[in-house]
Structure 1
Amino acid sequence: MAQTRQSSPQSPERLTRPPDAEPSAGPADGWDAGPIGPFLAVDPVVDRLRALRTAWSPADGVAVFNRVYLTVTEEIGRAIEAGAFADRKAATTLDVRFAERYLAAVDAVAADVAPPACWRPLFDYRRHPGVLPLQFALAGINAHIGHDLALAVVDTSRALDCTPADLEDEFDRVGDVLALMEERVREELMPGPDLLEVTDPLTHLLGCWSLERARDGAWLAARSLWQIRRLPALAEEFAERLDRSVGLVGRMLLTPLARRP
């Protein structure tokens, strides 16, 4: 994350509502994840992602991202079980709320309903022969980090009756896992030298997007949404503009570059 942001100190009471906090207000339309339960496990999310992996063709662009995201979710689940997070409940809730955003987009498309704007490019281009697997993976990561992560932080803050600042350590730890996975994605899906010679613009295109910048933007957006949560119209407009701007970046990442067979 940005060097100017400092992690919140750990304490047993850090997920307790501040004494002067006002009662929770309902979120603005467009960033409510629905009913909030007392605790959520990661396993059902992993099961759902595995089911999608089986249902989709490996060449499907959404399936490419889904495979990457499944690996990330499994890794975070193992880290939670191993005690890598100081607050297991906060980490699990954030991870599940995060995943729910992607799965909601999948369900929307399956129901013939438009998904959030950030996800539309990936679903629109999922079978385009000119888009490379690496582009599909990064476009999905862009949508999920740039938009979904910010809203998931707000969802989790409401669920645990805390503030985004209380979740900063979990946010950073999840972000570290995502950064490692992005490196692996680039290594595994980067075209070979021959193809890169043909699609030289790929290097420039991928250089225009940074996971670190996307994480910083998500953190700022989460804090901003939390500050304006009692101004529903403003919060809704902010979330909508965030959605559209992330979608625009995703469409750029999916610029067809590969030669058609």
Structure 2
Amino acid sequence: MHAQSIDEVIDQLDRIIEECLADDSKLAFFPILYRKVTIAVKEGIERKDFDDNERMEKLDVVFANRYLTAYQQFKAGEKPTDSWQIAFDEAHAFWPIALQHLLIGINAHINLDLGIAAAEIADSDLHSLKADFYKINSLLASMAEGVQQEIGRISPVIGILDLLAGKLDERLVDFSIKIARDGAWDFANEYNQAEASQRPTLISKRDFSIAWLGKDIMKPGRFLRVVAAFIKVFERKKVHKIAKALEGN
């Protein structure tokens, strides 16, 4: 069922988190993070931080519904986009670390879903959305440090690396978000300018590319696999304990 408001998005994310935790599924990790982002957007709308706050709520809801629909399709045994299918297939996989589970969800949602949602909301006036679209990047980047602290509690090795790296890793996260955002904006423009009959093909091609990025996240090169395996040895193993840490508890 599609959400009709930002409060309904939060309610549906709560249900997904509860369902995933009951199933001991690592798919709980991404919606926990996404719920925090959604609440931050809601608070920004209430403070009137955006140029068009009513439109920003519409964007948030349309954007969220792409994830909610993909999750519902997966649970019903239907086929979501390849980008999300790769993420969902890892629900009970042992070796991927918590950070990989978060990154593969972010990959699908920002790199594929965000551009589509922006183009659909803006219709023929996409340029007027650009300022608010880019404010989302600042919001995501501002949350990076808090998320890293929580990841550090889950994965002590990452916590040590975070201390050693100082602010470098936070700048890298900010840089990665910026790249994803810029790519999403470029795709939004391409999608917006295409004829309606061409859009399914554009989505299919984009999905194929983003799915490949997802595969790289879950199965990186040999060196990064060794690093991830080392992190995994010391990382919390229980899904509900990782979930509590991500929630800040």
Q: TM-score, normalised by structure 2?
A: 0.76
Please report how far the alpha carbon of residue 241 of structure 1 lies from its aligned counterpart in structure 2 after TM superposition.
1.0
- CA–CA distance in 2 between the matches of 1:128 and 1:110? 17
Cα deviations by residue, 1:12-45 (Å, 9 ceiling, x for unpaired): xxxxxxxxxxxxxxxxxxxxxx9xx9xx521111
Aligned positions of 1:236-247 closer than 5 A:
236-247=200-211
Please report how far the alpha carbon of residue 231 of structure 1 lies from its aligned counterpart in structure 2 after TM superposition.
5.4
- Is the partner of 1:64 in helix, strand or coil? helix
Distance 1:196 1:112, change over 3 A: farther
* Number of the residue aligned with 1:57: 21
RMSD of equivalent CA atoms:
2.6
Please report how far the alpha carbon of residue 55 of structure 1 lies from its aligned counterpart in structure 2 after TM superposition.
1.6
Q: Does residue 176 of structure 2 align to residue 214 of structure 1?
A: no
Please report how far the alpha carbon of residue 215 of structure 1 lies from its aligned counterpart in structure 2 after TM superposition.
0.6
* Number of the residue aligned with 1:224: 190
- CA–CA distance in 2 between the matches of 1:88 and 1:141? 24
Task: Detail structure 1 runs of 4+ shifted over 6 Å in the superposition.
Answer: 194-197
- Is the partner of 1:57 in helix, strand or coil? helix
* Number of the residue aligned with 1:154: 119
Question: What is the count of residue pairs matched by the alignment?
Answer: 211
Q: Does residue 157 of structure 2 align to residue 193 of structure 1?
A: yes
CA contact (8 A) 1:117 1:243 kept: yes
Please report how far the alpha carbon of residue 194 of structure 1 lies from its aligned counterpart in structure 2 after TM superposition.
8.2
Distance 1:179 1:113, change over 3 A: same
Please report how far the alpha carbon of residue 121 of structure 1 lies from its aligned counterpart in structure 2 after TM superposition.
1.4
Q: Which runs of 5 or more structure 2 residues have no equivalent in the other structure?
A: 162-168, 220-224, 238-249
Q: TM-score, normalised by structure 1?
A: 0.73
- Is the partner of 2:110 in helix, strand or coil? helix
- CA–CA distance in 2 between the matches of 1:45 and 1:231? 27
Higher helix proportion (structure 1 or 2): 2
Q: Which has the higher contact order (CA 8 A, sep 6+)?
A: 1
* Number of the residue aligned with 1:43: 7
Please report how far the alpha carbon of residue 181 of structure 1 lies from its aligned counterpart in structure 2 after TM superposition.
2.8
Cα deviations by residue, 1:33-75 (Å, 9 ceiling, x for unpaired): x9xx9xx521111111111112212863221001000000011
Aligned identity (percent) is 29
* Number of the residue aligned with 2:53: 88
- CA–CA distance in 1 between the matches of 2:144 and 2:71? 22
Q: Which runs of 5 or more structure 1 residues have no equivalent in the other structure?
A: 1-33, 198-202
Cα deviations by residue, 1:94-139 (Å, 9 ceiling, x for unpaired): 1111100100101100110111011111101121110111111111
**Which amino acid counterpart does residue 96 of structure 1 have in structure 2?**
V
- CA–CA distance in 2 between the matches of 1:102 and 1:50? 14
CA contact (8 A) 1:90 1:170 kept: no
